[in-house]
Amino acid sequence: MNTITLVGRLATDPRLEPTNGNPICTFRLAVDRGRTEGADFIPIKCFGAPAEQHHKYLAKGRLVSITGRLSHSQWTDKDTGKPRERYEVVAALVGYLDAPKASTEPAEPAEYEPGQEPF
C-alpha cells in the first residue's frame, strides 16, 4: 500500500496550472526532521476542484497535513540527454491546521441603520 502522511508548512505559495480542464495545484511542503536536523522540502501536487480550493486558501507559511501517495517519475533531459527522476506526493487529503493570516488591510467599519446595531 502506497500511503504517506506529512505535517508541515508551505515553503512556497501554491501555483495553479490549468491543463486540459483538470487544474493542478503544486507547492513545496517544509517538513521538520527534528530540533537540530533541519527540514525536508517535499513537492506536493493535487488535482481538480480541490486544486482550485487549495490555490485559493493556502499560502506560504500555512500549517497543513497531507495524506496521499508517493509518485515517482523518470525521464531523459532534452538538453543534456541524462536520465532524470523526481519524487512527489500526490495529495488526496489536505487538512488546514491553522487559521489564515489576517489581512494587512484595515477592516472597513460596518454600517448599520439606526436601531439595527448588533448590540
Quick check: helix, strand or coil at residue 58?
A: coil
pLDDT of res. 100: 78
CATH of domain 1-70: 2.40.50.140
Alpha-carbon distance of 40 to 28, in angstroms, equals: 10
pLDDT at 3 over 70: yes
pLDDT band at 119 (very low <50, low <70, confident <90, very high): very low
Is 54 within 8 Å of 25 (Cβ atoms)?
A: yes
Alpha-carbon distance of 26 to 116, in angstroms, equals: 46
Indicate the pTM of the whole model.
0.77
- Mean predicted confidence (pLDDT) in 83-100: 93
Lowest mean pLDDT among 19-33, 36-50, 95-109: 95-109
CA-only gyration radius of the chain, Å: 20
18 versus 31: the higher-pLDDT residue is: 31
- Mean predicted confidence (pLDDT) in 75-102: 91
DSSP 24-40: EEEEEEEEEEETTTEEE
Alpha-carbon distance of 86 to 71, in angstroms, equals: 8
Q: Going by DSSP bridges, is the β-strand pair 38-47/4-10 parallel, antiparallel, or unpaired?
A: unpaired
76 - beta bridge partners?
Answer: 83
pLDDT band at 36 (very low <50, low <70, confident <90, very high): confident
